């Protein structure tokens, strides 16, 4: 089945800093990013989502309400994107909606992952076919359900001349290892990206994030705290592995801060930035030591202090944003574009996971298809 054309990707990650919407065109020779838009979460809904994302339980009423309310916001993001781009909904083949992750627990006795944002509501509101719930089929096949973006990274960023690592720094950081030879592609979640830094900034500064890492730069790394944070077993696990804010959250941090009650707030922030830099760098050096270049996407690409620290730790390997190469995409829109591309994969009956990344037993077609109303 040929399914070249226009697709929309909708992505809200573990940072919960808004819904990223990306319009792409796909054709036999490649992928083109056409238009983008960031849609903010209403403050009251964002508060409810953050409250639930660090809990292990939720009432059925709360689940049903935020599932529906999230879908309304995803719908509005898609419609606003189309309005801004001047393209009618009838020209869009499908929306790939990642949904909002509330809980990701693939390694438990009963493995599962939960993303909300009812795709039926999105299809009804937009009049566009929706592909959603991408992660659960990979888990059903024995995988981690994450990361899923490496297949898109392979399609967009593979180079036959250079061994590349694509580093995504959202709330959680993950890497995709792309050897020039095209084989042995791997990837996994390295641990916290921005989530702990953002949470500490909200608590201590009443700000959503530390712009450019300026606050962290004012502090000094507290070595005993950093070593305490690095002792977590997750960092020593071998891939495939994935994690989320249901694990790395403020409760996780506070439990370790109790040993060091006198640390200044900005020193805590500096130590959290170092935690991200150390765990990302160790993951790359341990699992992709022959890397020629590292391309960074996600919100962390704008944190100058973090990028400087990564460059220092990974020298002489160059570290640069994903739009630093020909055919690249701005760091802000890689994940949203990826889920637009994954929607195309599903509609064409093509797999969207990489078993060598997720640990699934075999490739699978991801997600469910929620068709647009045909007018009957």
Q: Is the pLDDT of residue 266 over 80?
A: yes
Give the rounded distance of the alpha carbon of 174 from its chain centre. Answer: 8
Cα-based distances in Å from 236 to 15, 239, 281, 313, 314: 24, 9, 13, 19, 19
In sequence order, which residues have a C-beta less than 8 Å from that of residue 181 and are 6 or more positions away? none
Question: What integer pLDDT is reported at residue 57 of this predicted model?
Answer: 83
- Residue with token string 């249901």: 246
Q: Is the pLDDT of residue 374 over 80?
A: no
CATH architecture classification, 150-324: 2-Layer Sandwich (3.30)
| DSSP state letter for 241 | -
Report whether CATH 1.10.600.10 matches the domain 5-146+333-370: no
Q: Is the pLDDT of residue 112 over 50?
A: yes
Question: What integer pLDDT is reported at residue 28 of this predicted model?
Answer: 82
What pLDDT digit, counting tens, does each position of 193-233 carry? Answer: 999 999 999 999 999 999 899 999 999 999 999 999 999 99
Residue 326: pLDDT band with limits 50, 70, 90: confident
Residue 114: pLDDT band with limits 50, 70, 90: very high
Same topology between domain 5-146+333-370 and domain 150-324: yes
Question: What integer pLDDT is reported at residue 1 of this predicted model?
Answer: 44
In sequence order, which residues have a C-beta less than 8 Å from that of residue 218 and are 6 or more positions away? 266, 270
Structure tokens at 217: 């730069």
Report the pLDDT averaged over residues 278-288: 97
Question: What integer pLDDT is reported at residue 3 of this predicted model?
Answer: 66
User: What is the spatial distance between Cα 339 and Cα 343, in angstroms, rounded to a whole number?
Assistant: 6
Structural domain boundaries in the chain: 5-146+333-370, 150-324
Question: What integer pLDDT is reported at residue 239 of this predicted model?
Answer: 96
What pLDDT digit, counting tens, does each position of 152-193 carry? Answer: 999 999 999 999 999 999 999 999 999 999 878 999 999 999
Question: What integer pLDDT is reported at residue 15 of this predicted model?
Answer: 83
Question: What integer pLDDT is reported at residue 63 of this predicted model?
Answer: 95
In the chain, pLDDT over 90 holds for what percent of residues?
A: 90
């Amino acid at each position: 089945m040929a399914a070249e054309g226009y697709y929309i990707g909708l992505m809200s990650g573990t940072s919960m800093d808004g819904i990223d919407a990306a319009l792409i065109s796909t054709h036999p020779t490649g992928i083109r990013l056409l238009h983008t838009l960031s849609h903010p979460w209403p403050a009251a809904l964002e508060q409810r989502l953050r409250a639930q994302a660090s809990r292990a339980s939720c009432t059925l009423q709360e689940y049903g309400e935020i599932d529906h309310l999230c879908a309304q916001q995803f719908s509005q993001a898609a419609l606003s994107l189309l309005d801004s781009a001047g393209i009618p909904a009838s020209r869009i083949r499908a929306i790939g909606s990642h949904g909002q992750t509330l809980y990701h627990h693939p390694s438990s006795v009963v493995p599962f992952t939960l993303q909300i944002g009812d795709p039926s509501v999105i299809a009804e509101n937009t009049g566009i076919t929706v592909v959603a719930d991408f992660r659960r089929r990979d888990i059903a096949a024995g995988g981690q359900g994450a990361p899923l973006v490496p297949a898109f990274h392979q399609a967009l960023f593979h180079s036959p001349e250079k061994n590349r690592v694509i580093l995504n720094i959202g709330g959680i950081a993950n890497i995709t290892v792309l050897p020039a030879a095209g084989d042995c592609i791997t990837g996994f979640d390295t641990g916290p990206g921005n989530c702990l830094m953002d949470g500490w900034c909200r608590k201590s500064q009443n700000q959503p994030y530390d712009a450019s890492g300026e606050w962290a730069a004012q502090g000094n790394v507290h070595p005993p705290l950093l070593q305490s944070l690095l002792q977590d077993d997750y960092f020593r696990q071998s891939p495939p592995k994935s994690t989320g804010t249901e694990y790395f959250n403020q409760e996780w941090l506070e439990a370790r801060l109790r040993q060091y009650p006198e640390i200044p707030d900005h020193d805590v922030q500096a130590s959290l930035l170092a935690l991200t830099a150390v765990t990302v760098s160790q993951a790359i050096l341990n699992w992709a030591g022959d890397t020629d270049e590292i391309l960074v996407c996600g919100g962390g690409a704008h944190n100058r202090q973090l990028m400087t620290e990564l460059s220092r730790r990974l020298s002489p390997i160059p570290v640069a944003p994903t739009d630093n190469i020909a055919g690249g995409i701005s760091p802000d829109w890689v994940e949203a574009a990826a889920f637009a591309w994954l929607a195309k994969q599903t509609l064409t009956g093509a797999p969207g996971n990489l078993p060598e990344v997720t640990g699934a037993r075999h490739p699978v077609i991801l997600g469910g298809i929620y068709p647009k109303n045909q007018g009957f």
